[in-house]
């Protein structure tokens, strides 16, 4: 009987670690929470007031991109651009919208032929973006955030 009591006491004292509660720091919780985020997605895309009637997230994104590209192409069509060669090119605009809704042009990928024929293309694009209506920034978890994206613009001049 004594060996059984000693054995039970031994098990009782060695199993005390099972009942210890582990404390988790706020930094550990924050780190774990930040790893669960998908940083490449936002809850709401940037938008114009015209796009408020769109019901789904995808429709609002498409509306925003459509309004933006339509505005840029119509602005460029109004401007009389004179060239010596026919141009058919796709320009890739890398844009950033700040958490305050300010649009800025980060980078323009232009073919060398297009940049030779239209040397002021970057200035024209900047001027176009300055005349856009008010932009509402993207939202992630209830906070307005800065977003970057690329938009293709087709330029065709004969």
Mean pLDDT, the chain, integer: 83
In this structure, are strands 87-97 and 138-140 parallel, antiparallel, or unpaired?
Answer: unpaired
Apex CA 131: angle with CA 51 and CA 149, to 5°?
A: 60
Question: Buried (b) or exposed (e) across 8-38, using 16+ Cβ within 10 A?
Answer: eeeeeeeeeeeeeeeeeeeeeeeeeeeeeee
Report yes or no: 118 and 153 within 8 Å, Cβ to Cβ: no
Report yes or no: 87 and 148 within 8 Å, Cβ to Cβ: no
The predicted-structure confidence for 89-105, as pLDDT tens digits, reads as follows: 888 999 999 999 999 99
Apex CA 122: angle with CA 117 and CA 125, to 5°?
A: 110
Rounded to the nearest angstrom, the gap between the alpha carbon of residue 89 and the centroid of all alpha carbons in its chain is: 25
Global confidence as pTM: 0.70
The predicted-structure confidence for 108-135, as pLDDT tens digits, reads as follows: 888 888 878 788 888 888 888 888 889 9
């Amino acid at each position: 009987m004594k060996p059984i009591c000693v054995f039970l006491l031994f098990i009782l004292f060695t199993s005390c670690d099972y009942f210890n509660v582990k404390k988790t720091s706020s930094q550990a919780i924050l780190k774990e929470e930040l790893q669960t985020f998908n940083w490449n997605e936002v809850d709401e895309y940037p938008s114009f007031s015209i796009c408020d009637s769109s019901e789904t997230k995808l429709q609002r994104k498409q509306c925003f991109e459509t309004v933006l590209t339509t505005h840029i192409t119509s602005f460029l069509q109004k401007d009389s651009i004179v060239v010596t060669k026919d141009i058919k090119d796709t320009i890739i605009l890398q844009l950033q919208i700040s958490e305050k809704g300010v649009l800025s042009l980060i980078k323009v990928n232009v073919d060398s032929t297009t940049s030779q024929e239209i040397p002021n293309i970057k200035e024209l694009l900047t001027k176009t973006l300055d005349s856009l209506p008010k932009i509402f920034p993207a939202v992630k978890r209830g906070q307005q955030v800065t977003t970057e994206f690329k938009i293709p613009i087709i330029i065709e001049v004969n």
